Amino acid sequence: MIVDTHCHINTKAFDQDLNEVIKRAIELDVSKMIVVGMDSYHNDKTIELIETYDGLYGAIGIHPCDVEHADFNAIIPLLDHKKVVAVGETGIDLYWDKTNLDKQKAYFIKHIEISIKYNLPLIIHTRDSFNEAYEIIKPYKGKVKGVFHAFSSSLEDALKVIDLGLYIGIGGVVTFPKAETLKEIVKHISLDHMLLETDSPYLTPVPFRGKRNEPGYTKYVCEMVGKIKDVSSEVVAKTTSDNAHKLFGLEQKI
């Protein structure tokens, strides 16, 4: 059994065939998925999906690219839902817009503090912004839990995340031929510190690169991690799924 700890099947890319997507995921041993919100529309859609499907859980938050148009207070009532297991995604993104960094930082801090209050893990987005996000969350060491999703920084930075007691999210990029840095990270850190994810419909793994990503493709991420670490995909699946259950409390969220 594999857990996709980060997917966006709440987007319009899945409006026409979501039932089939979920069925294919289950056939590929991906039986649990965390649907991640980004703004008001996608947060509401997350709630709709987790109430409709077994095996789906939710994360509620405001993506750093959406801080200009989002109401932070609107996410708070949704955090009480019995199948909401995380706050996010949140963090810092300096790829698309560097002009609103102060507002992104302020929203990130709000997410951190609400995650502590509700005892929910954080799902953290960093794009061209690891140092900025790390410096914000570092003072909360020992108080906060979560994952740096779609990790794209260095081995040194991965070790900083682990030192904070947080997880590294590994997705489809690890299957790309030129992703040598990420492969080195996977090789050198323990499976005990990893979660698997797709970020679907984005970052589609080989052999489907260029097409829409979907949760079932977590299986290919799992297989590549096993190949890099020279262990069976079954070991990778079990360890990372155990990590996901521990972090997100999935067994308790029925």
| Beta strand pairing call for 2-7 and 30-36 | parallel
| SS3 assignment, position 6 | strand
Query: What DSSP character marks residue 4?
Result: E
Contact 151, 196 (CB under 8 A): no
DSSP-assigned beta bridge partners for residue 93: 127
User: Is the distance from CB of 73 to CB of 111 less than 8 angstroms?
Assistant: no
Residue 214: strand, helix, or coil: coil
**Count of the separate structural domains present in the chain:** 1
Cut 0.95: pTM above it: yes
Average predicted confidence (pLDDT) for the chain: 97
Owning domain of residue 69: 2-252
pLDDT at 187: 98
Here the tokens at position 67 are 């801080």
Mean pLDDT of 32-51: 98
Task: State yes or no: pLDDT of 244 exceeds 60.
Answer: yes
128 conformational bin, left if phi > 0, alpha if psi -120 to 50, beta if neither: left
* pLDDT for 252: 63
pLDDT tens for 140-170 read: 999 999 999 999 999 999 999 999 999 999 9
Q: How far, in Å, CA of 121 to CA of 49, rounded?
A: 20
C-alpha to C-alpha distances, 208 to 4, 15, 18, 216, 237, nearest whole angstrom: 17, 20, 18, 11, 20
Q: Give the confidence band of 96 by pLDDT, cuts at 50, 70, 90.
A: confident
Q: Phi/psi of residue 91, each to 5°?
A: 135, -145
CATH number of the domain bearing residue 173: 3.20.20.140
Position 253 scores a pLDDT of 58
Task: Return the pLDDT at 74.
Answer: 95
187-221 per-position pLDDT tens digit: 999 999 999 999 999 999 999 999 999 999 999 99
